[in-house]
Amino acid sequence: MASRGKKQPCNVSFRLTYASSAAAAEGDDVKKTIDYGKLFKRFDAELDGLVSDNSSEVARACGVLRGDGEELHEHLRGEIGQDVRLTAALIAKCGMKQLEETAVLKHFERSIPAVRGDFGEFEVELRLPKAVLRADGGLYYRGKSALAVVKGETSSSAEKRLAVLEEEFKIENIRCYCILGINPWERLEKQAVHISLTFNGLALQQWGSKFVDTYQTLTWEVAERVESSSFGSVESLASLIARIVVVEFGHEKVTVLVQKPSALAFVEGSGLEITRSRDFFQ
């Protein structure tokens, strides 16, 4: 994965759900199962080719859609390889190509597009541990896709494309130190606090593009504001963070997880999770 033109580590998990697995099991036939070695080689070749000045061409050529038929490249942000949604889409498309070699699609729907979850579903998880300086867990992305059957404007034949259905972004373990608690010893010095922010919804919508545009600035702002404040309760801290995200940065909804790793002697940590929308603060 590229960041400002340089490679950075990216851990990939890929989950493929497909109907032809039953046929492979019934007949004990390796021809009807997935060749994982070939699939990995496809991943490697596809991602290696992305680290160049051709990301916009790659995005246009990959043919990935969102559920209503709009093209992936119309929603991407940033420079070469910086939008994790392109990386995930290329991985999912490799899975679709591999599945096409082992399964036969018997029927086509004529709607535009018809999402075919019965053919196969593809879930891609990306973890970029070095993507966010203030976050120990880095950046996390999850995208769920399925086959879409599109009827061409000038042809009666149906075209198979990949449709991204839903997405999730996380900024994991933003490390902060602040005064938190009402006990006398908790008011003497700052303690460690770990904050995670989760965003999810339908794929390739405005909320996702806003996240890609703002997550670095958002992380910095949350960390600075928390460290310059003091709180009596975890609820107050979590509410402030949610307000920053949805009111000041304009996101529709966020799930905030606040953890206190040093709160209890014999417990790894205590925490609180809340979900807040923009309407909550109006």
Which DSSP letter does residue 276 get? E
What is the C-alpha separation between 272 and 149, in angstroms, rounded? 43
- What is the pLDDT, as a whole number, of residue 273? 97
In total, how many domains does the chain have?
1
Q: Where are the alpha helices (DSSP H) in the chain?
A: 21-27, 36-48, 55-61, 84-100, 206-227, 234-243
Q: Please give the pLDDT value at position 194.
A: 95
The CATH number of the domain holding residue 112 is 3.30.1130.10
CA distance linking residue 69 with residue 162, whole number of Å: 10
pLDDT of residue 123: 93
Digits of tens for pLDDT over the chain (282 positions)?
555 557 788 899 999 887 666 666 676 666 667 778 888 888 888 777 665 555 666 666 666 766 666 777 777 776 655 788 888 988 888 888 887 777 654 444 444 455 555 567 889 999 999 999 999 999 999 999 988 777 666 556 667 778 889 999 999 999 999 888 888 877 888 889 999 999 999 988 899 999 999 999 999 999 999 999 889 899 999 999 999 999 999 999 999 999 988 766 666 777 899 999 999 998
What pLDDT is stored for residue 32 in this prediction? 66
Number of helical (H) and strand (E) elements in the chain, helices listed first: 6, 11
Cis amide prior to 113 (ω within 30 degrees): yes
* 231 alpha carbon, distance to own chain's centre: 31
pLDDT value of residue 106: 46
Whether 230 and 262 have beta carbons less than 8 Å apart is answered as no
- Full domain range(s) for residue 215: 2-281
The confidence score (pLDDT) of residue 112 equals 47
Backbone angles phi, psi at 162, to 5 degrees: -100, 130
Neighbours of 231 (CB within 10 A): 20
pLDDT of residue 227: 94
Q: Find residue 172's DSSP bridge partners.
A: 138
